[in-house]
Amino acid sequence: MSGQLVGHLGASYDRFNVPPDIAQRLRLQDHIERKPVLDLNLGGEYLFSPSYALALGFFTSHSAAPGFQLNPDGTLASGSSREPHVNLYGGTLTLGMYGEHSLSHLGVSVSYGSGETAVPLDPTGIVDPTGYRAASVQQLFLYVFLASTFRY
């Protein structure tokens, strides 16, 4: 069994050096804000025999993007972040196979989360290149993996 509590510090930075009027037309968000977050990882492994083991884990991946600042009509306020804010929760399951000269792991990792993202009011950007609204999103990730090493 093992566990880990991971803290990520906040940050504030500019990605590009683009004049504001050009960034607005290109829909770039130059200034990025990240808030501090804590994530948790827990897991364990059970050795069935000298040749087989089963590992199980749980993890979180919280968004460091700040929440949206909204106008009364539901549109994003000027200066609001447009970065997606989705917190993920997931788990892993792995079968370990240990041979005389090899180690192999076959596993699956699943994570799910929900939150908000910013979508343009005018997808073409012709009529209103600056307007955005918040939209609910859900994300589901599934990874199947096989890892193997040779040892001598």
Q: Is residue 58 part of a domain?
A: yes
- How many other β-carbons are positioned within 10 Å of the β-carbon of residue 96? 19
Count: domains in the chain? 1
Q: Is residue 94 part of a domain?
A: yes
Q: Which residue has the higher pLDDT, 77 or 22?
A: 77
Q: How far apart are CA 109 and CA 103, in angstroms?
A: 19
Q: What are phi and psi of 25, to 5 degrees?
A: -65, -35
Q: Is residue 144 part of a domain?
A: yes
Q: Is residue 104 part of a domain?
A: yes
Q: How far apart are CA 131 and CA 127, in angstroms?
A: 10
Give the structural domain span for 132.
2-7+39-150
pLDDT tier at 85, thresholds 50, 70, 90? very high
Q: How far apart are CA 132 and CA 69, in angstroms?
A: 11
Q: How far apart are CA 118 and CA 50, in angstroms?
A: 51
Q: What is the structure's pLDDT at 147?
A: 94
Q: Is residue 27 part of a domain?
A: no
How far is CA 56 from its chain centroid? 20
Query: Distances in Å between the alpha carbon of 61 and those of 39, 57, 99, 152?
Result: 6, 13, 34, 37
pLDDT surpassing 80 at residue 53: yes
Q: Is residue 63 part of a domain?
A: yes
pLDDT tier at 8, thresholds 50, 70, 90? very high
pLDDT tier at 10, thresholds 50, 70, 90? very high
Q: What is the structure's pLDDT at 3?
A: 94
Q: How far apart are CA 42 and CA 40, in angstroms?
A: 7
Q: Is residue 49 part of a domain?
A: yes
Q: Is residue 112 part of a domain?
A: yes
